[in-house]
Amino acid sequence: MASPAPLDRAALERSVAPFGFSRNLPQEAYTSKAVLNWELRHLYESAWVCVGRADDLAQPGDYRAIRIGDDGIILGRDDVGTLRGFYNVCSHRAHELIEPGQCTSSRHLRCAYHGWTYNLDGSLKVAPRASDLPGFDPAVFGLPPARVELWHGWVFVNASGDAPPLADWVGDLEEIVAPYAPERLRLGAEKTYDVATNWKLIHENYHECYHCPTIHPQLCRVSPPDSGVNIDRSGAWIGGSMSLAEHAVTMSMNGASNGAMLPGLSTEQRRKLEYYAVLPNIFISLHPDYVLTHRIEPVEPGRTRIECQWLFPPEAFEKENFSPDYAFEFWDLTNLQDWKAIESVHRGVSSRGYRPGPLAPKEDAVYRFVTRIARAYLDGGISLAAPAPAALR
């Protein structure tokens, strides 16, 4: 049974009005704890959430405990290296197997409360003295499996267990991302930002370059801010491409690359940047020589953790003077320019003076995001069907 978000229905109907006539989301969508709780249940637990790179769990026995909304999941590699996920709950008295946020590397998963011990495939190995119980069958008391899938080196988890298959969730984005082969890329740099803004304002900012001429002078030198083209295909994602300036081969301060071009890209792909947000929580920015991701974790209505990773091909690391700094410094500066703006926007949407405003013609992808979220608020969850904005008249 669909459960709509605790928001004014008339305000949401205004947000899904045709492009050019719509209004932004109501204030409570950004400031209410009840709305964030609804979102964690209906837009995060019920979705495929990216929880990081598979490389972080490299060896058999590596396990990590994460939280998605109100649920806890452990992810790791079993004895033969297969990626596995389990709910983080002992079959005995429900103590967590691993403390949230912690990692382990062991031959077994042992509960710290009474010592019940599981094999890496989740089957129960030892339950101290429980075998004295009449008819005790260890096969019944394995760890409950959770849905975990890999996509191009990224690990996705569906906590509720009932999202559509991940292949449907990413839909046609597969075709766009595959030539970049992100699964073979390695981590060159990472940085985590703690930003005083609502998580949706980070999406809204990512989806337009209308603000680029005013706050990103360095970006505008290497990519014309009006070159964006957004697309509508199947899947729970939003985005499109932008062009490189004539002198630039990638996004860096001077447009030069200190890395190595990704093999397998067409001439056209080498002149473009591709920017996609897979709902609800990862931005994938495809460059001719590296891939940047922003992974978003809402903490409070007005606080979000953003983990950025810069991924490079193995050929770059083989170069004698390779440093990821050319890509890192460019996007770190751009990020900080963006965070300053959207922290200001968060204070603005929290004001008594806030009235949901209209979207400009260049903000068509913001419209796509706002309407998908507003529809999810009305319908109870994210739909895979992308609503295309009708052309402005």
Binding interface with Fe ion (CB under 5 A): 338
Residue 388 CA to residue 393 CA, distance in Å, equals 15
Min separation Cβ 142 and Fe ion, Å: 47
Q: How far apart are CA 146 and CA 240, in angstroms?
A: 32
Closest residue to Fe ion, based on beta-carbon distance:
338
Smallest separation (angstroms) from Fe ion to the CB of 369: 14
Question: In this complex, which beta carbon is closest to Fe ion, that of residue 205 or of residue 234?
Answer: 205
Q: Which is nearer to Fe ion, 87 or 330 (CB)?
A: 330
User: Phi and psi of 130, rounded to 5°?
Assistant: -70, -20
CB of 152 to Fe ion, least distance (A): 25
Cβ closest to Fe ion, residue 274 vs residue 338:
338
CB contact at 8 A, 95 and 130: no
CB closer to Fe ion out of 29 and 209: 209
| Cβ closest to Fe ion, residue 24 vs residue 46 | 24
Taking alpha carbons only, the member of 334, 329, 327 closest to residue 310 is 327
Q: To the nearest whole angstrom, how small is the minimum distance from the Cβ of residue 157 to Fe ion?
A: 29
Closest alpha carbon to 42 in 384, 379, 387, 389: 379
Q: CA-to-CA distance for 376 and 42, rounded, in angstroms? A: 8
Length of the chain: 393
**Closer residue to Fe ion (CB): 141 or 210:** 210
The one-letter code for the residue type at 56 is: D
Shortest reach from residue 338's CB to Fe ion, in Å? 4
Distance CA 174, CA 30 (A): 31
Bridge partner list, 105 = 62
**338 vs 364, which CB is nearer to Fe ion?**
338
Tokens encoding 340: 């300053």
Nearest partner of 201 among 302, 100, 327, judged by Cα: 302
Taking CA atoms, 332 is separated from 166, 187, 192, 253, in Å, by 30, 16, 10, 11
Cβ atoms of 331 and 294 closer than 8 Å: no
For the CB of residue 389, give the shortest distance to Fe ion in the complex, in Å. 21
State the nearest-atom distance from the C-beta of 203 to Fe ion, in Å: 12
